Structure 1
Amino acid sequence: MHFKELMKARYSVRNYHENKVDHTLIKQVAKAGLVAPSAANRQPLKFIAVDKDIILKKLHPAYPRDWFAKAPSLIIIYGHQEASWKRSFDNKYHCDIDAAIATDHMTLMATDLGLGTCWVCNFDPELVKEALPCDDGWEPIAILTIGYPTNNNAPEKKRKSIDDMLSFNGW
């Protein structure tokens, strides 16, 4: 699929078939996250793929939505703030930005492979860490649901116009 078509084809999928996603496809999706740029090439991220039902059930309370419980696979994007690049002017770590870029790359790759995803940010990170413990310094930043969509018809996207979003040489 051409990039312009791919960008338009991607949408947030919340209805999945039950079939698990083959690990080779999950790896292809994760590899797309690996080629994403990160500030100063620090690469402060780690991806954990989850497809075992027992772990998926443990993760559900972190984002207690029915559709989330039915996703056959997840990729949890972890970041390490102190391993990421820090802007010297205000000491802002860029780990979350790096994670966003990698997650976006993964959503596009999944779409290209015929998979659906939904990018979840409104979850309880402590409950994620309880269900799936991680090393010190690491935190879950995003969760990507991944699977085969039950319906390949993307809903109509409502987007602002380019004139609302872009200005030249000033606010």
Structure 2
Amino acid sequence: MNFIELAKERYSLRYFDVKKVEQEKLDLILQAGQLSPTAVNYQPQRILIIESDEALAKLKDCTVFHFNAPIALLVCANKDEAWKRSYDGKIHTDIDASIVATHMMLQATELGLGTTWVGHFDPIAVRNAFNIPSNIEPVCILPLGYPSKDAKVHPNHTKRKDISQTVLYNHF
């Protein structure tokens, strides 16, 4: 499958099967994250794998958007290791973690798995539930697993603005 086909195939999965994700597939997804570009290649990403019943129960207390996936990846970044832009002090934790998450989402799709990006979570509850140090910024949660038999693409998924509305040349 070429990249554009892969990008078109990926959608936000909200109905997961109970089948566990094989370790070999999880390893490939994590490798895709490891190979992701980050600012100055500082690699500040930290991925917390949430897979035990106890950990998944804790996650449910932090967000309503867990979709009962058999595993979730909490994508974070270390503020002390992320690149800081000298002009305005912007720390690139959110950007680096987002690039890593996107690579992992696309790898999951290629492997026949589904994900959805969850940004709607209580960061304080997540930090407390998983003992996340203050220098680690939780950026997103990726519920991960096989699509259930009831899974379907949301009708809005294929709606895209015309490229002329989102791409400009040389000025706004």
2:104 corresponds in structure 1 to: 106
**Pairwise CA distance, 1:69:** 4.8
Residues 77 and 142 in structure 1, CA contact (< 8 A), matched pair in contact too: yes
Shift in Å, 1:136:
4.2
* Counterpart for residue 62 of structure 2: 62
Give, in whole Å, the separation in 1 of the partners of 2:137 and 2:96: 13
Partner amino acid, structure 2, of 1:60: K
CA distance in 2, matches of 1:160, 1:62: 33
Deviations 1:138-162 (A, max 9, x none): 1211110100011565344111110
SS at match of 1:145: strand
Q: Does 1:154 align with 2:153?
A: yes
- After superposition, residues 84-123 of structure 1 pair within 5 angstroms as 84-123=82-121
Moved more, 88-97 or 122-131: 122-131
Q: State how far apart, in whole Å, the 2-side matches of 1:170 and 1:37 are.
A: 27
Q: For residue 3 of structure 1, what is the amino acid of its counterpart?
A: F
Q: What is the CA–CA distance in structure 2 between the aligned matches of 1:130 and 1:23, rounded to whole Å?
A: 27
Describe the SS at the equivalent of 2:116. strand
- The secondary structure found in structure 2 opposite 1:141 is strand
- Partner of 2:127, secondary structure, is helix
Report the equivalent of 2:128: 130
Q: Does 1:10 align with 2:6?
A: no
Query: Any conservation in 2 of the 1:60–1:69 contact (CA below 8 Å)?
Result: no
Distance in 1, Cα, partners of 2:152 & 2:122: 31
Q: Which runs of 5+ in 2 are unaligned?
A: none
Equivalent residue number for residue 19 of structure 2: 19
C-alpha displacement of 1:2 = 1.2
Q: CA RMSD in A?
A: 1.4
**Which stretch shows the higher mean deviation, 131-140 or 100-109?**
131-140
Off by >2 Å, runs of 4+ in structure 1: 151-156
One-letter code aligned to 2:129: A
Q: What's the offset of the Cα at 1:84?
A: 0.5
Residue type of the alignment partner of 1:162: I
Residue 164 (structure 1) aligned with residue 142 (structure 2): no
Deviation at 1:19, TM superposition (A): 1.2
CA distance in structure 2 between the aligned counterparts of 1:57 and 1:20, rounded to whole angstroms = 16
Preserved contact between residue 20 and residue 51 of structure 1 (Cα < 8 Å): no
> TM-score normalised to the size of structure 1?
0.93
Distance 2:64 2:144 in 1: 17
User: TM-score normalized by structure 2?
Assistant: 0.93
